[in-house]
Structure 1
Amino acid sequence: MSASHSLAPTPEHLKKLTTEELKQRLAGAPEEAVQWIQALAEQGVAEAQVLLGQAYLDGHGLAPDPKQARIWFRKAAEAGDLMGMNMLGRAYDQGWGGLVDHACAAYWFRMAANQGLDWGMYNYANLLLHGQGVEKDEAVAFDWYQQAASLGHAKSLGVVGRFFEEGWLGTQDKEQAFEFYRRSADAGDFRGQYNYALMLEERGNPAQAAEWMRKALDGAHLAFSRTMAINLQQHPHASLRQVAREALLKCARQGDVNDMYTYARAMLAQPDMASISLGRQWLQQAAAQGHAQAQRELAVNLRLS
């Protein structure tokens, strides 16, 4: 990297910058890329303001600062940027950089939804479904989910599938549920992939179900990975019980000491010596990090050995 690449951009730099050069700058090291994003944001470029807000939220190239994230999301939202509106709604919904205010979240989600943003539709529908910041209205929520789904929004496709599977509006339709889960899974949503896998197994396709369940596990965050492990541990089909153990291992690696202990116990309950040996290793790790029950179990094993 040349010395000039590390210089903070000036208005003169920005005026001369081609689109291709800007892409190269933004694809560089986070600390450098965020300088260019900030320069553009301060010039009033709404898309950059959203990116800068996200950088502050994630600590990408600078110190995390949720308050600054909310400030920049607001600038973009008030400039008319739809994703800025959605992200400001998320800030109010999640309490990023200030108090939770579901009514304000609903206002900004609705603004983005009314102007055609699929994420705005999805987030506004979530508030309607749960009655947060707005009066609970499942039918209107379903309409917004369907609108987002018609645009190919992966998560909305999965929620529409849940409506049909559970009959939340009084009409249960397993075939419609299966189709919406399939489309959600193909679009990359891990919840859609999970539900699609379950329906595939119900239809006698365990190998395909396990394949989709692993895709779901790859994309799932820690909380959902824990849910998958719990739900699949006692599944009648062995291939999905194996995915449960893989989910437990993922949680043990990414989670806390309780996840380590849970995985250790699952492995110790297996009939083969390789799994039992692995379980002992994880039990020792949990004990070394202060898990009281793991320490007691190790102490008992030492006395019995």
Structure 2
Amino acid sequence: MFNLAICYYNGKGTEKNLEKAFHWYQKAAENGHTGAMNNLAMHYENGVETEKNFEKAFHWYQKAAENGEEIAMNNLANGYNNGEGTEKNLEKAFYWYQKAAENGHTGAMFNLAISENGEVNAMFNLAYGYYNGKGIEKNLEKAFHWYQKAAENGHTGAMNNLAIHYENGEGTEKNLEKAFYWYQKAAENGEEIAMNNLANKYYNGEGTEKNLEKAFYWYQKAAENGHTGAMFNLAIHYENGEGTEKNLEKAFYWYQEAAKSDHTGAMFNLAIHYENGEGTEKYLEKAFYWYQEAAENGHAGAMFNLAIHYENGEGTEKNLEKAFYWYQKAAENGHTDAMFNLANSYYNGEETEKNLEKAFYWYQKAAENGHTGAMFNLAVYYENGEGTERNLEKAFHWYQKAAENGYTDAMFNLANRYYNGEGTEKNLKKAFYWYQKAAENGHTDAMFNLAIHYKNGEGIEKKLEKAFYWHQKSSRKCHTGAMFNLAIHYKNGEGTEKNLEKAFHLYHKAAENGYTGAMFNLANRYYNGEGTEKNLEKAFYWYQKAAENGYISS
């Protein structure tokens, strides 16, 4: 069919007949012949024995080009370039010139050269197409190539994107120095995104030396050109005094500007400034407003703070249901403190039904995210079998994790586990170690137990002076057992000088605080006149008190 059409078109072997040539090109094209598709398109383009029809010409050039016909590729590119039969599209023109050139079409090579020297936007858009795989198969190497060509021809957006390719090693080897170079070129040519990116490089010392003053300069330039992220970063510089003098008023101003442009982090920080009165007057209603805005835009920290505001009625009416709702939202979005508070709500049945299983679940989530209070509570749940099966080994594990992260109550409980061999092997040295750590962190019961370890030589060499010291520390924190033991130290002169008056005083304090052994010993002091005047009535009184409290010897 194709050859017959050629014969009619050229008048070879028969009279020249363009109508029949058109007819047979059409038949061959409809049967998939790519050369016929191209020639049929030319008939429609030039109006040869048919009405001129650029749309049909474009259609058949496209069919032929997509089937590998190089002449059609060039012609299709012309259609895109001139906007004939389709909308003008320089990126697609560029693409098809390139395809035709790659297939050896010299005219396309010429057109491509013209495009490379003149159509910078086409280069940029072609690169963008390769990068995103839009209309073209994704190809990072080709995207890099055309961004580079466009950048070298002065396209500022291409300079920025070329820098991104160097920064991330996309389509080329990672090279932070070249990334910095192209960010700088783009920024100096007014590209606001590049200004912000250049500031980031100066701030982090990537591809150049760290320089907070230059980082500040470029954040400021980008911010003044409307870059929202730069506004936020500029505010942080003013807030922290990085690269410039600390200025909370200016920090507030730029957080406000960024927040107005829907920057979620800026909304959150703006709320903090209103809450604390930093750079502006304290204004809890506005703090609440911006926490709410940030929370509704997905900021987990804002969700948490919004819950606190509802819980405490700060800047809004107290509403525990909404507090619970936002704790839950924040927890579901990965906010660790919110997980812990949500667990507490389930444990206490605050604005929701008490649910130990859900409390356990959220303590576990918070603990796995590093919340030490949650680690401790999770250990307690495992120890008591609340919301889960009892498991002393897991209880030990989480006490240990919390203790290693500085949680004092966990240190004490971990020491108890080692002392009693619960969830782990009994180990008096480790028990002593953790009692000591907890005691040094102010835990009263740990001070008392540490004193006993020193007194009895458990896990450590016996040292009565240190036993006396820690009994005294614990006694000052109103530990009645420590008062009683400290009295014994004074009575017997253990670890300190013997002092019957002080022994009497401490027995008296412990007795008044309900310690039955102290009641009995106090009665003995009155009976024998040790450390005080003999007083049989008071001796009787305290023997009676001790007896009423179950002390057998009384």
Query: TM-score higher than 0.5 here?
Result: yes
**Alpha-carbon separation, structure 1, partners of 2:333 and 2:276:** 21
Structure 1 stretch 89-98 or stretch 125-134: which is displaced more? 89-98
Aligned residue for 1:214, secondary structure, equals helix
* Counterpart position of 1:256: none
* Counterpart position of 1:32: 139
**Alpha-carbon separation, structure 1, partners of 2:278 and 2:265:** 17
Structure 2 CA distance for partners of 1:181 and 1:234, relative to 1, 3 Å: closer
* Counterpart position of 2:47: none
Aligned residue for 1:269, secondary structure, equals helix
* Counterpart position of 1:133: 243
* Counterpart position of 1:268: 379
Aligned residue for 2:206, secondary structure, equals coil
CA contact (8 A) 1:34 1:55 kept: no
Match 1:168 to one of 251, 274, 278: 278
- 2:355 corresponds to 1:238: no
- 2:308 corresponds to 1:198: yes
**Alpha-carbon separation, structure 2, partners of 1:281 and 1:46:** 60
Residue identity matched to 1:151? S
Give 1:136-151 correspondences, 5 Å limit.
Answer: 136-151=246-261
- 2:234 corresponds to 1:124: yes
Give 1:7-18 correspondences, 5 Å limit.
Answer: none
Match 2:183 to one of 64, 70, 73: 73
CA contact (8 A) 2:311 2:323 kept: yes
Match 2:150 to one of 19, 43, 54: 43
Higher relative contact order (CA 8 A, sep 6+): 1
Structure 1 stretch 160-169 or stretch 92-101: which is displaced more? 92-101
Give 1:55-134 correspondences, 5 Å limit.
Answer: 55-59=165-169, 64-134=174-244
Give 1:221-232 correspondences, 5 Å limit.
Answer: 228-229=336-337
Give the deviation of 1:156 after TM superposition: 1.4
Structure 2: gaps (5+ residues): 1-94, 103-108, 313-317, 348-358, 402-417, 427-554
Structure 2 CA distance for partners of 1:214 and 1:232, relative to 1, 3 Å: closer
Give 1:149-188 correspondences, 5 Å limit.
Answer: 149-169=259-279, 171-188=281-298
**Alpha-carbon separation, structure 1, partners of 2:173 and 2:371:** 30
**Alpha-carbon separation, structure 2, partners of 1:112 and 1:43:** 22
Structure 2 CA distance for partners of 1:106 and 1:268, relative to 1, 3 Å: same
Give the deviation of 1:245 after TM superposition: 3.9
Give the deviation of 1:151 after TM superposition: 1.7
Q: Could you give the per-residue CA deviations for residues 17-57 of structure 1, whole angstroms, max 9, x where no partner exists?
A: 69987655323499933640453144213334333434444
Structure 1: gaps (5+ residues): 218-224, 252-258, 288-296
Match 2:329 to one of 191, 212, 227: 212
CA contact (8 A) 1:109 1:121 kept: yes
Residue identity matched to 1:27? N
Residue identity matched to 2:181? I
Give the deviation of 1:188 after TM superposition: 3.2
**Alpha-carbon separation, structure 1, partners of 2:340 and 2:243:** 37
CA contact (8 A) 1:110 1:124 kept: yes
Structure 2 CA distance for partners of 1:19 and 1:124, relative to 1, 3 Å: closer
**Alpha-carbon separation, structure 2, partners of 1:28 and 1:279:** 53
**Alpha-carbon separation, structure 2, partners of 1:232 and 1:283:** 20
Structure 1 stretch 125-134 or stretch 181-190: which is displaced more? 181-190
Residue identity matched to 2:195? M
User: TM-score normalized by structure 1?
Assistant: 0.69
- The CA RMSD over aligned residues, in Å, is 4.6
User: TM-score normalized by structure 2?
Assistant: 0.41
CA contact (8 A) 2:238 2:250 kept: yes
**Alpha-carbon separation, structure 1, partners of 2:304 and 2:145:** 39
CA contact (8 A) 2:144 2:170 kept: no
Query: How many residues get paired?
Result: 272
Larger radius of gyration between Structure 1 and Structure 2: 2
